[in-house]
Amino acid sequence: MNAFNGFGLSNLSLLSNAKSRSISPENFTGAKGQGGMATEGTGKECARDLGQGWKVSPSVIVKAQTNFTLGEIEGPGVIQHIWMTCFPSHWRSLVLRIYWDDEKQASVETPIGDFFCNGWCERSNVNSLPIAVNPAGGMNSYWEMPFRKSAKLVVENISEEDAVLYYQIDYSLCSVPDNAAYFHAQFRRSNPLPYKEVHTILDGVKGKGHYVGTYIAWGVNNNGWWGEGEVKFYLDGDKDFPTICGTGTEDYFGGAWNWEHPKGEYGIYSTPFLGMHQVIKPDGLYRSQQRFGMYRWHIMDPIRFDEDLRVTVQALGWRSGGRYLPLQDDISSVAYWYQTEPHNPFPKLPSKDELEVI
């Protein structure tokens, strides 16, 4: 089988011996010629006059406080596209975990909404290269996810309510180059961020790899501008000072001057590699705080590391006298990176109450 790196827009015309497969509720195993055969499923009643082959199993019900295996794949191969949709109320209570090559510790662990740059449980479109979220809540990932032995994708429903989930996992069975690293994604939340502390986006990474992206859901707890803080990358033994240090929060996400455009308003944008795509405004009653969603993909400028990596962001506003004010905001983030395996275990995911958007 041809290696997966023969794919891509520049190689789209090249023939390949890779085998295209897809897992969904209409074909749980992804087996060739086995799609649309269900006789039981969430669409059975709708198809009662038509029978087998007529959208009998378009979705699954993930029972409250249970795990559901979305798919198990025997490799080698590469996941090329993941599509999901469910009600926004479940975006923080459905946790996505992905395991490579029979590992016991997940390489991806994040609430579904945050993985797709929608951490506030309110729909916001994203028009970027690896993540696209389209009306009305269609979530797409094009992150390349190679594996050599196996891939396992699991969703945990940590709430007390069942969740209806539609999904599709598109992949190829193909050879994987020796120098292909494994995809990882990790969620963290500081709520509130302790005074004069930084929000840690990623820490404890050991191995060789490259950092490829950041999503942040930022809830502001003070009046005034909140984005003076710097994003810092500590590489390969950096201690007190980083190798890469940005100049401000909106600068890191590709904006400038408080994102104020037009005057007196935040200007939202969503581009292939970076965006500040979501602004949730106070309504004068129960919605009292401003909330933001932003992403930065290091696809054209990956952050390479040989041994270890730590990523942080400061939360800074302004106080009297032209002085910085350390903020105590609600900051959630997802870090996306590739590295060799094995990886260090992730910190324990926050509990249901600690994840809740309130």
Backbone angles phi, psi at 230, to 5 degrees: -95, 145
Q: What percent of the chain has pLDDT over 90?
A: 96
pLDDT at position 8 is: 72
Work out the end-to-end distance of the chain between its first and last CA atoms, rounded to an integer number of angstroms: 49
User: Does residue 2 carry a pLDDT above 60?
Assistant: no
Neighbour tally for 225: CB within 10 Å: 17
Q: Peptide bond preceding 350: is omega within 30 degrees of 0, i.e. cis?
A: no
**Quick check: 309 and 233 in contact, CB under 8 A?**
yes
Q: What Cα–Cα distance (Å) separates residue 296 from each residue in 92, 213, 315, 326?
A: 21, 6, 17, 23
DSSP code at position 73:
E
| Collapsed DSSP state (helix, strand, coil) of residue 98 | strand
Domains, the chain, with CATH or none: 1-180 (2.60.120.1390), 181-345+354-358 (2.60.120.1390)
As a whole number of angstroms, the distance between CA 274 and CA 213 comes to 9
Q: What percent of the chain has pLDDT over 70?
A: 98
* Mean local confidence (pLDDT), 16-45: 97
pLDDT tens for residues 188-241?
A: 999 999 999 999 999 999 999 999 999 999 999 999 999 999 999 999 999 999
Mean pLDDT of the chain: 96
- The predicted-structure confidence for 277-316, as pLDDT tens digits, reads as follows 999 999 999 999 999 999 999 999 999 999 999 999 999 9
CB–CB of 212/299 below 8 Å? yes
pLDDT band for 9, please (50, 70, 90 cuts). confident
- The alpha carbon of residue 13 and the mean position of all alpha carbons in its chain are separated, in whole angstroms, by 30
Q: Which helix (H) or strand (E) holds 315?
A: none
**pLDDT tens per residue, range 113-136:** 999 999 999 999 999 999 999 999
